[in-house]
Amino acid sequence: MEKNFVYADNAATTRISDKVLEAMLPWLKEQYGNPSSIYSLGMEAAKAVLNARRLTAEALGASRAAEVFFTAGGSEADNMAVKGAAQLGAKSGRRHIITTNVEHHAVLHTCEYLETRGFEVTYLPVDDKGLMTADQVEKALREDTALVTVMAVNNEIGTVMPIADIGKLCRERGVLFHTDAVQAIGQLEINVQKMDIDMLSLSGHKLHAPKGVGALYVRSGIDLPSLIHGGAQERGKRAGTENVAAIVGLGEAVTAAVTDIAPRNERIKAMRQRLAEGIVSAIPHSRINGDMAQRVSGNVNVSFRGVEGESLLLALDIRGIAASSGSACTSGSIDPSHVLTALGLSAELAKGSLRLTLGDHNTDEDVDYILEVLPETVKRLRRMSPMWQRICKEEGITDYTLE
């Protein structure tokens, strides 16, 4: 079978849904007012932003709409939370931060920056499945800990972290808890009150909203310092004229994302399971990365010995399959994935990884096509690979590509 195009990179971005686009269009054309203006056109825009704030707060289980701050995306929300919490902690002599070694670079690089400003950061390791525990956090907590920041779902391997347990622990110990939930909204049931989450980051383009819009939930009573100065927007915390159309789209998208999560994800999980099992059964010397039980529904991360990930992606693209070798934010890097090496993979095996992420628009026919194209593509690349030939010679592997 031949298909024109299969999109299997939903963890990188998603296409805007029809309902989101329909909701946005009036605010791009007729209703173009500045929300800070006091005349009717501006006031209508301000009402639209307020409604989107309410929808986002309801989707997260927040107690008040005012706990939601709109940003330009997940990375900005992470920066606002981590830097802001660090500054708050420093005022009372708390200059210690706890995170994991598999966070998104928006958190890791922010923590590294804070280390240059006199903060101490503990990077908790994960096991060979990409999982960690609240016990690890408890053992790392100190009197001067200002913040614990642990992602809800890993963006590369899809593993689910125990954020409710961590939130409960942090609340009991009086330590702020932030979670990067960019890959979790619409995948997991998230309730910031029940899960004792103080701050939560999300991104619109992972939810069928446009790129360039996100949000940060901040629990009432936490007075984060401003990240961007220059105006009174977002209650003085984030200067700059609001992107009304994108914010409206985010409100629509996040509402849809948290509706009927279970049946939607059951369908995607069934496709994911068939895809994962089909890959490892059809391609020798392949391995699934991450835990298959504690994992979001659409993620398959697999490594192939003797294959370069970049060559594999280009070969799949020629056949109309869009995938990635990890986070889209590091696609230009020549270094192996920090997530996969944290699991114990060699640099060579980590560089031979493929991330396939299925979403709402994928079908069983898409899975069929990937399972048709991927095995023959890996076999062809191995046939041409000096690395694969070396592995076969050194380890006495029967080279199936010569059959």
Q: In the predicted model, is pLDDT for residue 1 greater than 60?
A: no
Distance CA 197, CA 174 (A): 12
Q: In the predicted model, is pLDDT for residue 201 greater than 80?
A: yes
Average pLDDT over residues 170-192: 98
- Residue whose C-alpha is closest to residue 52's, from 250, 259, 257: 250
pLDDT in tens, 220-266: 999 999 989 999 999 999 999 999 999 999 999 999 999 999 999 99
> How does DSSP assign 46-74, residue by residue?
HHHHHHHHHHHHHHHT-S-GGGEEEESSH
Distance CA 196, CA 35 (A): 32
Distance CA 161, CA 314 (A): 32
Contact 161, 297 (CB under 8 A): no
Which of 111, 170, 329, 392 is catalytic? The answer is 329
Average pLDDT over residues 158-164: 98
**DSSP assigned state of 16:** P
**DSSP assigned state of 224:** P
Q: In the predicted model, is pLDDT for residue 296 greater than 90?
A: yes
Residue 23, token pair as written in the block: 């909701």
pLDDT in tens, 307-362: 999 999 999 999 999 999 865 554 555 689 999 999 999 999 999 999 999 999 99
Q: In the predicted model, is pLDDT for residue 2 greater than 80?
A: no
- Residue whose C-alpha is closest to residue 94's, from 172, 141, 146, 149: 146
Instruction: Name the percent of the chain lying above pLDDT 70.
Output: 97
Distance of CA 391 to the CA centre of its chain: 34
392 is catalytic: no
- Residue whose C-alpha is closest to residue 169's, from 184, 148, 144, 153: 148
Angular region, 402: left φ>0, alpha ψ -120 to 50, beta rest: alpha
